[in-house]
Chain A
Amino acid sequence: MTQRTTANTDIEGATPALKAFFTDALGIPKEAELGRLGNFMRWRFQDWQGTALECPEVRLQEPTCTTIDLLEASNQYFHRGPEVFGKFVNITDAYNVVVNILTSEVSSRKPQVYKQAETSTVAEVEQRPSTIIQQELTRYVEKTINHLFESAEEQYFENGMESDFSRELVSLVEKYGNLAMSEISYLITCGRVDEEVASEALHWLGRIDDASTHGWRLWVLEKSLSSKSPVVRDGAALGLVYMGDAHAMQYIKKAIEQETITELRYDLQGALKELEASLNAIPTTDDKKA
């Protein structure tokens, strides 16, 4: 008899697409919603922290995470209905769903390699039938982004200046789109990277002009306004200013109300004013015609 892991599901913190997915997992699946999420879920074990010990059926070992096909996950686990929620430990984003999965199921999976992934883009991979290649690409992007953030801890970031880190970050997001955003979001929202690096990443994410990743970038920026680190909260506010999306205003207002550091609250108020001014300055269609 095994002890069931206590559920700690934070669906309110999930992306809109992920919320839709869970809603559908309990009701009628919609392929369109699955498509918006991408093709994979990643099952992480290193995030269990405490809860794993309550679950003797799991033996933590390396590798501590695996990536599986989303449809496969849906077929294997989500058909069980509402009980599935009892198995969720944490939700970080569409790709990073931490669940109670038997280690034996993880270890029985074939080892994945990174070959071919380095030269592939999302668009190229989507044209191939093999999900294995997609998995390789996913893991390659995760590994690359992890390395990028780790190596950035040694860098000094000067205000207003590009760095090797910012150039590579922007390049990866432009090349791998939401696949890259998934990993970046995970690292930042779970506090797995240095706060100065996270802050730098956030404000450059706000500067990227790319509609395909807009939703992800907006989400991670808004989410980061409630980070434990004031440096990260500040970087998130800056990123939202650069992004210029009116949706962020409600989140910045909430962050102002909750901010306990006087100086940062003042800067968050400044960010709100700057965002409002930017939005008011955007020419309307009539202005453009004139």
Chain B
Amino acid sequence: MPFLLRTIKKRRWDKEAWLKEGKAKANALGDLQPKENKLSFWHVHDDKSNLYQVVAAIAAGRDVPEKFDYALFDQNLLKKISVGIDQTAGDSFHKEADEHWHRDTVNLSAEDVAEIANIIMEHGIKDRIWPREIARLVKQEVNSGAIDVNPLKEKLKQRGHDNWLE
């Protein structure tokens, strides 16, 4: 049961009294903006053993160490709506993540996107990782050599004090 991870803004996924069970709010679609009718996800192993590596991969591409809101859901749930999933190259600074863990859901209709939103709303885990932990995760991946520190944004590297990633 592998998972798919997508970054979100958590408040868009809060339950509301007026919302029907299993339905996502319209605002949640703001976190599911397709490009060329594709949505980008990251693969997370059944045991979630690579979860924090994926998080670090995404966070390392940001300007600043920011809180990290994400949704995680069972990839098999997409079979219900017959959405195709392709393994494609990622665009982070984490070599392993880019080579092995990036996924695109392809040929999406507007209805498919809405259904994915409903699946995330009903079955997804929505969680937040705070900046201090994000900084620790990125540093861990930099130290292990999984992330090359050189191409990272200057502001990220400067976080609070110089050379925190070294």
The residues of A with any CB-CB pair to B shorter than 8 Å are 156, 159-162, 199, 207, 230-231, 234, 238, 241-242, 261-264, 267, 270-271, 273-274, 277-278, 281
List residues 1-53 of chain B with CB under 8 A from any CB of chain A.
7, 9-11, 13-15, 30, 33
Is the Cβ of B69 less than 8 Å from the Cβ of A270? Answer: no
Q: Which of B58-66, B71-79, B85-93, B104-112 contacts A (4 or more CB under 8 A)?
A: B58-66
Is the Cβ of A267 less than 8 Å from the Cβ of B132? Answer: no
Number of A-B residue pairs at CB separation under 8 A: 55
With a cutoff of 8 Å between Cβ atoms, the chain B residues found around residue A270 in the complex are: 128, 130
Known A-B contacts A161-B63, A162-B63; the reply to A241 vs B131 at CB < 8 A is yes
Q: Is the interface of A mostly helix, strand, loop or mixed?
A: helix
Is the Cβ of B14 less than 8 Å from the Cβ of A230? Answer: yes
Contact of B64 among A207, A263, A274 (CB under 8 A): A207
Bound together, the chains give a CA A162 to CA B156 distance in angstroms of 11
Known A-B contacts A230-B14, A262-B15; the reply to A159 vs B62 at CB < 8 A is yes
With a cutoff of 8 Å between Cβ atoms, the chain A residues found around residue B66 in the complex are: 159-160
With a cutoff of 8 Å between Cβ atoms, the chain B residues found around residue A234 in the complex are: 10-11
B139, CB-defined interface residue at 8 Å: no
Contact of A263 among B10, B65, B68 (CB under 8 A): B10
Give 5 new A-B contacts, CB below 8 A, not counting A156-B33, A262-B15, A278-B132: A159-B67, A159-B68, A230-B11, A264-B11, A274-B132
Bound together, the chains give a CA A162 to CA B155 distance in angstroms of 10
Bound together, the chains give a CA A199 to CA B132 distance in angstroms of 20
